[in-house]
Amino acid sequence: MALPDWDYTTDIAMSRVVQVDLAELREDCGLPADAGLRLSVRYWPSTSLIKHAAFREILPMRGDKVACEIQVVAEGLDLGGELTIETLLELASDLPYSDPFVATRAGSILWSDQARMHLEGSAGLLPVAPVSFREAGLPPGAAWYVSMDGGDWQQAAMGSLLVLLNEDNPEIRRALEAEKKDAPGDLWGLLEVDIVCDLIGRALDDEAFLDEPAASHEDNGQGITMAGLVRALIRTYLARPGEGVDQAIKRLHDERRRDPSRFRADVQNGIGFPRDGQK
């Protein structure tokens, strides 16, 4: 499933009804009749793999069957790439005995189901601000400017990146005023290529990024870091099948130094630019 018109300002609302046969579930899992059960939903984007808890409900202790309606909203600012939504049936509390073949710890997963949707557009990862380039002292005829603060790859990405769109440019102004269905997809697709090329290119040119251990590139407690975002983009768009992110970084670093045009072509290929139906 794909959402071709998605952008970072768009939250995604999801709903489903889950029917659970409580007695049969407990019996199949070897649980006592009074074992507490919990229904949970979590989601995560391929660009960060940070799991977000979206729904939790304790199921009734008694009764044979129950139907639960789940409604969750995933905030657009947290999303990008491919979104995975996972529904779980878990053990709600510890059981007072230990059996090597039976779940006994709270949070043990008894059943799970996953759904995925592709959110087209890595531009949605970043905040966008329309400004007058003439007033901001930027080239007045340019289309956009990708602003990146400093060279600290451990900064939170959402506080370090900003895409400025030039309101003085007639094509950009028309694109901003157009309805989503009429918006020029090739223009935003080109912006997406520029963002990925600029961000990954800066990282590949910076020895500070290349020398940092992979473990330091993840969530710093304030959201995904700049380094974590770069690695997520490489994982999503540029890593080859069976290739780890660190291997891809080394290959891309060498490739970009040897042939920058080939690197840009790889980005276009990974993103799928231009996409069918873009105009």
pLDDT in tens, 228-262: 888 888 888 898 888 888 999 999 999 999 999 99
26-35 pLDDT, tens digit per residue, is 999 999 999 9
Per-residue confidence (pLDDT) for residue 180, from 0 to 100: 52
Per-residue confidence (pLDDT) for residue 49, from 0 to 100: 60
- Sketch the domain layout of the chain as residue ranges: 2-120, 123-271
- Through-space distance between the first and last CA atoms of the chain, rounded to whole angstroms: 21
* pTM for the predicted model, two decimal places: 0.57
Q: How far is CA 82 from CA 14, 17, 47, 115, 195, in A?
A: 15, 23, 8, 10, 18
Pairing of strands 109-119, 65-74: unpaired
* Summary mean pLDDT of the chain: 84
For domain 2-120, which CATH number applies: 2.60.290, 1.10.10, 2.60.40, 1.10.260? 2.60.40
Confidence band of 167 (pLDDT split at 50, 70, 90): very high
Per-residue confidence (pLDDT) for residue 276, from 0 to 100: 57
State the average pLDDT over residues 10-26: 93
